[in-house]
Amino acid sequence: MMKSKPDEEDYWNSSKFKAFTFDDEDDEFSRLKESKQAVNSIRRLVEEDDDEDDVEKVSWSGEPVGRKTKTGSFQFSDSLSDSSVRLYAPELRKPKSEYKDYVSDWSPEETVHRMQQGKAVSLEKFRSLQDKLLLLDFSISAHDGNVITAVTLFTITFTVLFRELESRQTALRHFIHYLTETRDQRLLLELLRALGRTEDIALLQYKEHLSIADENKRRDFLKSCLSLPFSPEDSAHVQDHYTLLERQIIIEATDRQAERGGKVEIFQKFPRRASILNMPLITTLYYCCFYHYTESEGTYSSPLNVRQTFRISEKQFFVTALAARAKLKAWVDVDALFTSRNWLGFTRKKSPLGFHRVVDILQKNSAPTQVLQEYVGLVDDAELRISLAQKHKCHDIIINTYRDLKDRQQLLGYRGKVERGSVEERKINELLDNPQIRWKN
């Protein structure tokens, strides 16, 4: 049943979806408001049937009038989004005096120019495929993200135009960014399918795991993603993600039970601060180095098992294990990390990390001076070694370095900085009096 004219007026005045209003009863906009097309717009909102074509007015938000704007912050991937592009400008509301230009016969180029100026425009007259693409191309040439998004949203009402966006990468990026920000998953999937982007579709579906809170359901979902058409690199990532979560679930259940039982010493001395579930790989490795360092390689929680399963580099494993064992003040384990034995059976200190970095990690974990001194002495660069030794009060390192440099003047200067009558002062005096040392100054 059609509404009477007073009912229509009440509807537009009370609805939260306001259309443009025109108060001059004698002008062409009054007639437009009362036309069949305006009635059709009302019908769209109140779900009444009519066979007339719809009139679509596009605001600066890029939304047809009467459609809600969604908000969101979902980010797809670096290749599909441009975070520097703003999605919306404020919705266009102009003084009545400017409405006279609204239905003027503007060309596509003039229409885009007016949109850049913030003036009212009507896009409904661009109906043919050629006109829509011409309008889209002019918006791209204008280099205005808001205009590109608004025109793309108007143009893309035809599914066939999805393929046209493939040759217009700027508009495509803005449109995909808009859809990901507004979380319009349905339309985004439809667009990606039309473009044949199977790998992007797989990534979009994979990222749905972020909304699954239960760890067992998330694990099962990740397992179902393993058959999706990912690129080889992404496929390996998804496989590792599934394997890691599956392992975390097992470790979490075992450690929670051990902690509650109260019989495992390390859990009593160092209670767990958080669950290991959904933690990153390196955090998981640190956890295993902290609580399960001595376990055999055959267990899920063994650091060596984690390293092998997830192909962790020697350097990354070394840094993580060093930080975990230093945190526990397990200096014997720390020392063992550096011990290397050659084919003759001799041992020496070896590190995939610079020894100055090692000293920094140990110092942050309150290593005693005798521990720090050993690793400060292994720093290759003499100036850096002296600087670190001065910072950590490793007097022997400084004295020995000046001796090796045959720098008598520096040794004399440093003698004035040590305590009178100390072991360090006696050592310096012995070196200065040694006739076998050929000083350079």
pLDDT in tens, the chain (441 residues): 454 555 545 544 444 444 434 344 444 444 434 444 433 443 444 344 444 444 333 333 334 444 444 433 333 334 444 444 444 444 445 554 454 454 557 787 778 877 877 777 777 777 777 777 777 788 888 888 877 777 776 766 555 567 777 777 887 888 888 888 887 777 888 788 878 788 988 998 898 898 899 999 999 999 999 999 999 999 999 999 999 999 999 999 999 999 999 889 999 999 998 999 999 999 999 999 999 999 999 999 999 999 999 999 999 999 999 999 999 999 999 999 998 776 676 778 889 999 999 999 999 999 998 899 999 999 999 999 999 999 998 999 999 999 999 999 999 999 988 888 899 999 999 999 998 989 988
190 and 244 co-located in one domain: no
* Torsion angles phi and psi, residue 433, rounded to 5: -90, 0
Q: What is the per-residue pLDDT for 89?
A: 43
Closest CA to 64 of 133, 6, 141, 122: 122
pLDDT value of residue 115? 82
270 and 357 belong to one structural domain = no
Query: Looking at the domain assignment, is residue 184 inside a domain?
Result: yes
pLDDT value, residue 6? 52
Q: Are residues 351 and 257 in the same domain?
A: no
The rounded distance, in Å, linking the Cα atoms of 39 and 33 is: 8
Q: Is 121 within the bounds of a domain?
A: yes
pLDDT at residue number 67: 41
- DSSP label of 211: G
**What pLDDT does residue 110 have?**
77
Domain endpoint, select from 143, 166, 196:
196
Strand partners, 341: 347
Paired residues of 58 in beta bridges: 64
Q: Are residues 219 and 121 in the same domain?
A: no
On whether both 210 and 284 belong to a single domain, the answer is yes
Written as one letter, the residue type at 84 is S
**Looking at the structure, do residues 234 and 174 belong to the same domain, yes or no?**
no
DSSP string, 2-57: PPPHHHHHHHHHH-SSPPP----TTSHHHHHHTSHHHHHHHHHHHT----SPP---
Alpha carbon distances (Å) from 114 to 100, 240, 335, 397: 14, 52, 72, 74
Residues 215 and 134 in one domain: no
Could you list the residue range(s) of the whole structural domain that residue 174 is in? 103-196
Assess if residue 253 is contained within a domain.
yes
| Furthest CA-CA distance within the chain | 117
Q: Are residues 130 and 183 in the same domain?
A: yes
Note the pLDDT of residue 367.
Answer: 93
Cα distances from 291 to residues 3, 256, 274, in angstroms, run 73, 12, 13
For residue 166, which of 179, 157, 175, 153 has the smallest C-alpha distance? 175
Rounded CA gap, 395 and 403, in Å? 12
Residue ending a domain, among 312, 337, 367, is 312
**Shared domain check, 128 and 221:** no
Q: Note the helical H segments in 262-313.
A: 265-269, 281-291, 303-309
Final residue before a domain boundary, out of 145, 175, 196: 196
What pTM was estimated for this model as a whole? 0.62
- Per-residue burial over 177-191, b if 16 or more Cβ lie within 10 Å, else e, is bbbbbbebeeebbeb
The count of domains in the chain is 3
Evaluated on CA atoms 299, 303, 304, 310, the torsion sign reads positive
Residue 204 to residues 75, 174, 200, 217, 233, Cα–Cα distance (Å) = 10, 17, 6, 18, 16
Both structure tokens of 407? 């720098």
Q: How far apart are CA 419 and CA 431, in angstroms?
A: 17
User: Is there a single domain that holds both residue 177 and residue 225?
Assistant: no
Residue holding tokens 């007016």?
114
Cβ pair 260, 267 in contact under 8 A: no
Nearest to 160 by CA among 202, 191, 189, 181: 191
Q: Indicate whether 409 belongs to any domain.
A: yes
188 and 284 assigned to the same domain: no
Q: What is the pLDDT of residue 144?
A: 81
**Cα(first)–Cα(last) distance of the chain, in Å?**
108
Pinpoint the alpha helices (H) of 142-183. Answer: 145-155, 162-165, 169-181
192 plus 213 within the same structural domain: no
The verdict on residue 248 lying in a domain is yes
Task: Give domain status of residue 87, yes or no.
Answer: no
